[in-house]
Structures are given as structure tokens and as C-alpha cells.
């Protein structure tokens, strides 16, 4: 029987995307796979494994819970927690043997006190010091303050180990001039720390910078959205050779004629102007189909493109399949992905509603089952 809503993820595509991204950086530059937010709805654990198989050397997440999930799944590779960590969360981060980002002396002091009481650890807690070079969120804007934080980390050896210097680029997808300003602020700071700690890992680049800003690559790049075969510039991944890993499908659950003046959906936001047929798909905003796509999206069925019409409801959408429909009940319907020669990317959907691919992917809810395969071969 058809599944009412299904997200199929090709882990082989993830693996190939990692290999492609690694080919875009210098041989000595490593790749960190950012799998936060459940790998943007793709599934953190299977995506992490595929990324590591493709050549990633480490992983990154946003929260301590995400790090703990990867460890619980048996992954032993380095994991960097990019986000803020409260004192209450620090024991979870330590239990996950995660690398931690710091930007204040107070946080380092709290971390050191906790490390003093964490008997039985295998080694020092790895710390990356962050400079805010222009993102304006986490991190200190003052290079001297960031250096002082780094010195405090070094002073608390062997409990703590200074292993990285980092920043976060704000406009790598659309403003190279501001990227250059950020790098000009970051590079002297990183150089000061390199003088103190030979072997320090310096990193700044996200997916967009990996593809467009070679000067930002440093020791490793942090790739997220590009892992999944999506365009960091939110246009089209094909010119970069990226391969979308996820497709979102439903099926035609009902098919009925509609006469001029009759409507479909809440609020009568679609009223037929001619005799036509309406296909109902059992997928809606509770699954991640944004309500803003009302009368504003396409659906691919049997290799043809049809307009989504009427209000997107919680559990259903309706599609105008024409006055002489060639589709049938049970037919597979593609909302993201390919059908025959037709293609609809997550970027296409995102641009319909003025958002980015990240948000569409993260919005695919837990109600939608994920099915994993390797080029069509189901994973156990």
C-alpha cells in the first residue's frame, strides 16, 4: 500500500556530496560534517555515517542532546558542539566527550571546575575559542578578549586543551566583500593563537564559503546544507554537481470531478473556472507542507507537473489534474524530487514562499517516516 507521506533519503548521495566538497578544498583541508537539527530533517545518525564514509573527519552539532544522540548510536569520531552550552548541560557534553566552543573567561572557569570533578575522563576537554568577526551572535567581538579566553584555557591544562580557533561567516552566500572584512578581522587573531599552540585547528567556512571562498578554508570546512545536495545560495544545486539526497512523496488518495463554481479546501481559496478533476493527497502542513504554498506550488505525478490548488490543510492537499486526467488513484505524487523528466527541488519550494531550503527541510515533521537507501537498495 502507498505511504501517506514518505521522505526517502539516499545515503549514497550524501557520501558522494562529501567527496565532491572535499575535492573543492586543498588536500590538507579536512571536512567537518554539520548534522545539527537531525541533519536538517534527513536523520543525523545515518547522514553522519554516510558523511564519514565519504571522507569527513569530524562531526558538528548545535546542542548537547544532539552530541549525546550520536554517541548513543556508537559513533566515536570527534564531535564539536557549535552552540551555547549552559552549566546544567555541561555534564552531558562531557559525558559525550564532545569538543566545546568558548568565548568568555567565566565559561572557561566553570568548565574547568567541572573538569576538576570529572574523574575518569580519558583526557583533556577540547576547546575551540570563537571570535565574532561579524555574525553578531555568539562570541566576543574583541580579539584581545578572545586571546585572553584562549590563555585561560591553556592555563587550565591538563583538564582543558586549546584545539581550535573559529569564527562564523554571515554572508558567504551573497556578499563576498563582507566575507573579506570578516576574514581580515579573524586571521590576525587566529595567527596569534597559532603562535601559542602549534597544530591549532583554524576554521571559518560553511557550505557556501566552501564552494565560493577558498581564502576561508583554513584547516577544515564546516559543511551542512551542501551535504544533503542542496544549494547554499538557495537556487539550484545542479551547477555545483551536488546531488539532492531527499525526496518527499505522497500519493493520490482520491480523484473527483469538480464543476465551474465549485471549490476545494478550507475557505474556498480555489474555485474552479472550468470543469476539471481534483486529486487529493494525504499530506499537509502537519507533515511540513507549508500553508503558504496554498495555490502556490506544483506536484509531480507520473512525470507530469500539476498545480497544487486550494488551502493546504493539516492532513491533505488538493491538486488540479486537468479536465481529462491521466492520473489514477494510488499514483505516486512527488513534492520534492523527480518524476520522469520533471524535477522539483527543495529550493524551488522554498523560493515559492520566500524562505530558504534549510527551513523547508527542517519543517518535514517527525510524522513523516524516513526511509534510507543506497542508490535504491534499502538499508537494513
DSSP string, 318-352: EEEEESS----TT-EEEEEEEETTEEE-HHHHHHH
Cell of 216: 576561508
Cell of 301: 505525478
Closest by CA to 165, choosing from 136, 180, 181, 143, is 143
* Residue recorded with cell 570578516: 182
User: Tell me, what DSSP letter sits at residue 315?
Assistant: S
- Please report, for residues 114, 119, 346, the alpha-carbon distance to residue 334 in angstroms, rounded to integers and kept in the order given: 50, 53, 11
Phi first, then psi, for residue 56 (nearest 5°) are -65, 145
Cell of 116: 576538576
How far apart CA 212 and CA 221 sit, in angstroms, is: 12
Which residue is catalytic, options 251, 256, 266, 372?
266
Q: Give the angle 322-299-42 at the CA atoms, nearest 5°.
A: 165
Inter-axis angle of helices 143-155 and 176-196, to 10 degrees? 30
* Residue recorded with cell 562529501: 18
Annotated catalytic residue 228: no
Distance of CA 33 to the CA centre of its chain: 10
Which residue spans within 63-120 are E strands per DSSP? Answer: 79-81, 99-102
Q: Would you say 34 and 82 are in contact if contact means Cβ atoms under 8 Å apart?
A: yes
Q: SS3 of 209, please?
A: helix
Annotated catalytic residue 36: yes
Which residue is catalytic, options 36, 240, 285, 372?
36
User: Tell me, what DSSP letter sits at residue 131?
Assistant: B
Active site residues: 36, 266
Amino acid at each position: 500500500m502507498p505511504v501517506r507521506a514518505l521522505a526517502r533519503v539516499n545515503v549514497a548521495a550524501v557520501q558522494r556530496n562529501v567527496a565532491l566538497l572535499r575535492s573543492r578544498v586543498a588536500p590538507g583541508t579536512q571536512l567537518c560534517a554539520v548534522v545539527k537539527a537531525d541533519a536538517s530533517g534527513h536523520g543525523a545518525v545515518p547522514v553522519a555515517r554516510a558523511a564519514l564514509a565519504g571522507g569527513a573527519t569530524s562531526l558538528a552539532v548545535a546542542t548537547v542532546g544532539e552530541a549525546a544522540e550520536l554517541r548513543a548510536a556508537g559513533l566515536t569520531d570527534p564531535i564539536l558542539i557549535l552552540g551555547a552550552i549552559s552549566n546544567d548541560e555541561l555534564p552531558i557534553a562531557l559525558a559525550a566527550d564532545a569538543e566545546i566552543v568558548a568565548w568568555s573567561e567565566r565559561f572557561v572557569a566553570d568548565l574547568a571546575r567541572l573538569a576538576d570533578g570529572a574523574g575518569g575522563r580519558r583526557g583533556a576537554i577540547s576547546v575551540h575559542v570563537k571570535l565574532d568577526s561579524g555574525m553578531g551572535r555568539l562570541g566576543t567581538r574583541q580579539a584581545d578578549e578572545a586571546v585572553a579566553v584562549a590563555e585561560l584555557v591553556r592555563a587550565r591544562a591538563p583538564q582543558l586543551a586549546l584545539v581550535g580557533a573559529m569564527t562564523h561567516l554571515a554572508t558567504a552566500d551573497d556578499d563576498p566583500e563582507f566575507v573579506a572584512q570578516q576574514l581580515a578581522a579573524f586571521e590576525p587573531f587566529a595567527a596569534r593563537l597559532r603562535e601559542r599552540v602549534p597544530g591549532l585547528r583554524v576554521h571559518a567556512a560553511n557550505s557556501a564559503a566552501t564552494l565560493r571562498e577558498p581564502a576561508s578554508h583554513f584547516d577544515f570546512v564546516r559543511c551542512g546544507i551542501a551535504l544533503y545536495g542542496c544549494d547554499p545560495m538557495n537556487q539550484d544545486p545542479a551547477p555545483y554537481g551536488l546531488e539532492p539526497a531527499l525526496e518527499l512523496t505522497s500519493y493520490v488518495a482520491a480523484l473527483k470531478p469538480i464543476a465551474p463554481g465549485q471549490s476545494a479546501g478550507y475557505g474556498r481559496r480555489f474555485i474552479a473556472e472550468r470543469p476539471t478533476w481534483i486529486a487529493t493527497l494525504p499530506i499537509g502542513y502537519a507533515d511540513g507542507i507549508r500553508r503558504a504554498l496554498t495555490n502556490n506550488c506544483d506536484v509531480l505525478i507520473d512525470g507530469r507537473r500539476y498545480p497544487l490548488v486550494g488551502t493546504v490543510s493539516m492532513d491533505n492537499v488538493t491538486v488540479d489534474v486537468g479536465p481529462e486526467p491521466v492520473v489514477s488513484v494510488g499514483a505516486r505524487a512527488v513534492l520534492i524530487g523527480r518524476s520522469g523528466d520533471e524535477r522539483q527541488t527543495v529550493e524551488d519550494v522554498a523560493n515559492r514562499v520566500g524562505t530558504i531550503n534549510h527551513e523547508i527541510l527542517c519543517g518535514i515533521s517527525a510524522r513523516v517516516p524516513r526511509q534510507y537507501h543506497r542508490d535504491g537498495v534499502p538499508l537494513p
